[in-house]
């Protein structure tokens, strides 16, 4: 394979059994750096795994012309790779700017799932990376979360797969640069409007500067350990539950 990044993705696919040869996958593509890199990587793995791909894009219409440019960029990119392009767009009456980040996420995933179900595809691939995992962990710590919540996002969660989850944003940007791939920049990510943006733009840089320059890796490794602990506890609990379920009280 051409780059170490693609090898990393292949290792992740194998380790977490993200998909099988011949599977059909919906790629959620916003046009940003992460999803653009994911699309390019899948295009390079497509023949090897005999994959069928569809590009799905959501245009919330919340950023005016920038939203339209994002949609145009993703459509043209899908055409250049030769993949079908499906989009969900919002008219003025359906684009309330007061929607929360979580509401927008739910709309996006519902659209992806609708495509997957109607087209009888196997999985939905989204481009969360290692930095996203760290931000999710901190957001859940702040809100208050149990062991499951602190294990953050999973590589594979039913029909959702995250092949870039262990890859830092810096490596993704380097991949795009080496492969001369353009991408769109969502300027609202630079604004401290949403909680995640505050964590990304303010809290993490502060923690890196004042406490630990490698804080992102430290937190990411912690999410891996917590996820492993949760999986072990869940497995042991299930085994004990089955023993109790099958126990015959008459034998006492």
Q: Which pTM value belongs to this model?
A: 0.88
Give the residue, 3 or 79, on which the prediction is more confident.
79
**Phi/psi of residue 54, each to 5°?**
-130, 140
* pLDDT value of residue 1: 39
Q: What is the token pair recorded at 237?
A: 């609990």
Close Cβ partners of 96 (under 8 Å, ≥ 6 residues apart): none
**Tens digits of residue pLDDT in 221-231:** 999 999 888 88
* pLDDT value of residue 252: 55
Domain boundaries, the chain: 4-247
Query: What CATH number should be reported for the domain whose range is 4-247?
Result: 3.40.50.620
Rounded percentage of the chain residues whose pLDDT exceeds 70: 92
Task: Report the pLDDT averaged over residues 179-186.
Answer: 95
**Phi/psi of residue 41, each to 5°?**
-65, -45
- Report the C-alpha gap between 181 and 39 in whole angstroms: 11
Min mean pLDDT across 56-60, 166-170, 198-202, 243-247 is at 243-247
Number of residues assigned to the chain: 252
- Report the C-alpha gap between 138 and 136 in whole angstroms: 6
Q: Are residues 87 and 56 in contact, defined by beta-carbon separation less than 8 angstroms?
A: yes
Question: Comparing C-alpha atoms, which of 165, 171, 172, 155 is closest to residue 129?
Answer: 165
**Tens digits of residue pLDDT in 79-97:** 999 999 999 987 654 445 5
């Amino acid at each position: 394979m051409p780059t170490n990044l693609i090898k990393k993705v292949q290792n992740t696919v194998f380790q977490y059994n993200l998909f099988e040869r011949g599977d059909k996958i919906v790629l959620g593509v916003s046009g940003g750096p992460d999803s653009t890199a994911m699309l390019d990587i899948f295009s390079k793995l497509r023949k090897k795994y005999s994959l069928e791909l569809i590009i799905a894009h959501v245009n919330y219409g919340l950023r005016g012309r920038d939203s339209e440019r994002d949609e145009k960029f993703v459509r043209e990119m899908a055409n250049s790779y030769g993949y079908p392009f499906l989009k969900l767009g919002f008219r003025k009456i359906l684009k309330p700017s007061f929607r929360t980040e979580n509401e927008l996420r739910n709309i996006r995933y519902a659209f992806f799932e609708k495509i997957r179900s109607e087209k009888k595809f196997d999985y939905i691939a989204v481009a969360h990376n290692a930095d996203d995992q760290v931000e999710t962990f901190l957001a859940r710590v702040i809100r208050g979360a149990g062991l499951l919540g602190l294990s953050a996002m999973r590589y594979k969660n039913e029909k959702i797969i995250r092949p870039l989850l262990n890859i830092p944003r810096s490596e993704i940007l380097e991949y795009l640069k080496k492969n001369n791939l353009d991408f769109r920049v969502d300027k609202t990510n630079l604004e401290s409007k949403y909680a995640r943006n505050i964590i990304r733009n303010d809290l993490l840089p502060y923690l890196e500067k004042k406490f630990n320059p490698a804080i992102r890796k430290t937190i990411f490794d912690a999410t891996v350990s917590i996820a492993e602990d949760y999986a072990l506890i869940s497995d042991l609990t299930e085994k004990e539950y089955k023993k109790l379920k099958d126990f015959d009280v008459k034998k006492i």
